[in-house]
Chain A
């Protein structure tokens, strides 16, 4: 008899779990609909803009109230997964496109194909829609995107006499390597520039995989190739080697990039940048806000395009997205809110608040985003070259990234392994991981 009690408890729990009926979450009350909008905006300006837009919507739509809920980038995937499983997900979901694949394939997100207005659909370019298209459905609206740019110490750059790159005439990857060696005061190939602890570039590569893959697109690197059978295989071609080799050589051959920042995040490199240790730091476009806030008075900086390869300035991005939960009983209303939120004028406000680029072509034409100050013009010039991050819809990518690619790239950049071993691990070990997801 004693052995039965765990079973009794289990049955009891199941009964409890099964006894209640779902309350439908955000159902209508007195004909009034309430939609929950979970936003991941976190910077003050961005949160303010989101709240203002929600207020404006609510004022204009007394029968459809949107409730603003602030979420957090930290643990958003686990939080959403639990909410989806429990049938309590927000109606409108803010996330990043590289987080959507599992939710889309899992049936948690509504297919927006028939719900969005022609205005919004045609305003956002096809290459951006590719980031949220899984199978035949569209599971999110990409609305903000962030290219990687070079933030440079303007005074140092001008003093050195190197050619200043522009979006029309960027540095090639080989030119970039030469320039960083010159800026580091070396050019002698002996490392650590001239030995004064100053470097041409600092690579913050705490998360080396997305940076490497996204920048590799410029050199024609794709790494992930979908075959006729629909299965994805990893191949490491010459184009895939350009960016890793450049970084490796800057750190291990030229000494124009410090080894110490390889394990750092972008914010960690800023003090060294402000302190005159590094001439340039490759960072996401939105880091400009931190630079504006934290740079010492009189510090002059400028935004340069990332180096270009055979395919020009192309690079991969995973835009921020707005999706609708499949369980939402008010999908049309949720889509209407998204449509309102992403009107060109509003998209500009959101982009300014987040220091990012809008995906909408109309918003990108706004004068507020085209000024030279703070590098906005350089960013807007790059917008047309942004593509879907190569791996974002590949199933098994997160495991490949964590177990294979991150340690392999970290070891390669630090000089512990060579290019041959990097290739073997990314391809051979990587395909073993992907095979498990594609049986």
Chain B
């Protein structure tokens, strides 16, 4: 079926509009980060700062320990991503290849667990972690993030495992490959993009998480970036807008870098599932 020129133009227009819609908040954030206070209070704000300044960045770094907070966030997010993937991958394989009642129940539980609000679990969780002496510990926070990310990671990975044709593993077995060899040489490479995507999901959800970090970490030197960002906010939503925008812009950079680094892997992952049976 051929697409007419008008339809194609419409599609491009829709795509462009969608990209603009997605990019607008980020571009506005960047613009705000470089605006002096007087431009922030302008009735007709300009897209580009008229008198760009780095003062907001200086002030943000001067007022809050952003680098230390970013390092804490990085440790928590990387730790959560790696551990969640290490745990979820073999579990997902079992659930995808062996469709038992337990696997179905686990899938149901995964769906239900995503509906739990944070406030419902935070107090019992706090008590358990306190007794394990894991309050005010980045390790404890990683543990929580892993538990929190695991259901969805599992759900994602099950889909990826199912996209790898079982016939390939059977063929490898017929050729004499053992179970481990099959998994390492045949399944794992095909699953790699899925694992990367899942790790990315776990990383970003932990990187952006605020409430658990706020409640579980007491020492100022252990606070993560989202918690430190709220220090630019006053009561009733009043904000120190310039430094807040500068700090928030810096907080998005690691996610962007991670995306940029693994973009090809992710794209590969999309096509990896498109194997003909």
Q: Name A residues whose Cβ lies closer than 8 Å to a Cβ of B.
A: 13, 16-20, 22-23, 36, 40, 42-44, 47, 68-70, 72-75, 78-79, 81-83, 85-88, 90, 96, 206-207, 265-267, 270-272, 274-277, 284, 286-287, 290, 293-297
Q: Which residues of the other chain, A, contact B219 by a CB distance below 8 angstroms?
A: 69
Chain A binder among B33-41, B80-88, B150-158, B259-267: B33-41
Q: Please tell me if the beta carbons of B42 and A86 are within 8 angstroms of each other in the complex.
A: no
Q: Please tell me if the beta carbons of A86 and B43 are within 8 angstroms of each other in the complex.
A: no
CB within 8 A of B131: which of A18, A42, A271? A18
B20-41 to A contact mask, C-beta < 8 Å, 1/0: 0000000000000000011011
Q: Which residues of the other chain, A, contact B232 by a CB distance below 8 angstroms?
A: 42
Q: A82-B215, A274-B42, A295-B41 are in contact. Are A13 and B128 (CB under 8 A)?
A: yes
A77 vs chain B, min Cβ distance (A): 11
Looking at chain B, what size class is its interface with the partner chain?
35 or more
Q: Please tell me if the beta carbons of B41 and A207 are within 8 angstroms of each other in the complex.
A: no
What's the A-B contact tally at a CB cutoff of 8 Å? 124
Q: Which residues of the other chain, B, contact A16 by a CB distance below 8 angstroms?
A: 128, 131-132
Q: How far is the CA of A96 from the CA of B234 in the complex (A)?
A: 12
Q: Which residues of the other chain, B, contact A290 by a CB distance below 8 angstroms?
A: 41, 238
Chain A binder among B118-126, B168-176, B192-200, B248-256: B118-126
B230-248 to A contact mask, C-beta < 8 Å, 1/0: 1111111111110000000
Q: Please tell me if the beta carbons of A17 and B215 are within 8 angstroms of each other in the complex.
A: no
Q: Please tell me if the beta carbons of B218 and A75 are within 8 angstroms of each other in the complex.
A: no
Q: Please tell me if the beta carbons of B127 and A274 are within 8 angstroms of each other in the complex.
A: no
Q: How far is the CA of A68 from the CA of B218 in the complex (A)?
A: 11
Q: Please tell me if the beta carbons of B128 and A85 are within 8 angstroms of each other in the complex.
A: no
Q: Check if B98 is an interface residue, CB within 8 A of chain A.
A: no
B contact face: mostly helix, strand, loop, or mixed: helix
Q: Please tell me if the beta carbons of B235 and A96 are within 8 angstroms of each other in the complex.
A: yes
A contact face: mostly helix, strand, loop, or mixed: mixed
Q: Which residues of the other chain, A, contact B233 by a CB distance below 8 angstroms?
A: 42, 72-74
Q: Please tell me if the beta carbons of A88 and B227 are within 8 angstroms of each other in the complex.
A: no
Q: Please tell me if the beta carbons of B131 and A19 are within 8 angstroms of each other in the complex.
A: yes
Q: Please tell me if the beta carbons of A69 and B131 are within 8 angstroms of each other in the complex.
A: no
A355 vs chain B, min Cβ distance (A): 10
Q: Which residues of the other chain, A, contact B210 by a CB distance below 8 angstroms?
A: 75
Q: Which residues of the other chain, B, contact A87 by a CB distance below 8 angstroms?
A: 130
CB within 8 A of A86: which of B41, B130, B214, B241? B130
Q: Which residues of the other chain, B, contact A276 by a CB distance below 8 angstroms?
A: 43
Q: How far is the CA of A167 from the CA of B210 in the complex (A)?
A: 44
Q: How far is the CA of A299 from the CA of B168 in the complex (A)?
A: 74
Q: Please tell me if the beta carbons of B214 and A79 are within 8 angstroms of each other in the complex.
A: yes
Q: Which residues of the other chain, A, contact B130 by a CB distance below 8 angstroms?
A: 20, 22, 86-88
B54-79 to A contact mask, C-beta < 8 Å, 1/0: 00000100110000000000000000
Q: A17-B127, A88-B218, A267-B239 are in contact. Are A72 and B40 (CB under 8 A)?
A: no
Q: How far is the CA of A47 from the CA of B240 in the complex (A)?
A: 13
CB within 8 A of B240: which of A36, A42, A265, A274? A42
- Tell which of A78, A81, A87, A276 has the most Cβ of chain B within 10 Å: A78
Q: Which residues of the other chain, B, contact A17 by a CB distance below 8 angstroms?
A: 124, 127-128, 131
Query: Which A-chain residue is minimally distant from B223 (CB atoms)?
Result: A70
Q: Which residues of the other chain, B, contact A19 by a CB distance below 8 angstroms?
A: 131
Query: Which B-chain residue is minimally distant from A210 (CB atoms)?
Result: B236
Query: Which B-chain residue is minimally distant from A320 (CB atoms)?
Result: B235
Q: Please tell me if the beta carbons of A73 and B43 are within 8 angstroms of each other in the complex.
A: no
Query: Which A-chain residue is minimally distant from B228 (CB atoms)?
Result: A70
Q: Please tell me if the beta carbons of A88 and B59 are within 8 angstroms of each other in the complex.
A: no
Q: Which residues of the other chain, B, contact A13 by a CB distance below 8 angstroms?
A: 124, 128
B53 vs chain A, min Cβ distance (A): 13
Q: How far is the CA of A40 from the CA of B234 in the complex (A)?
A: 8
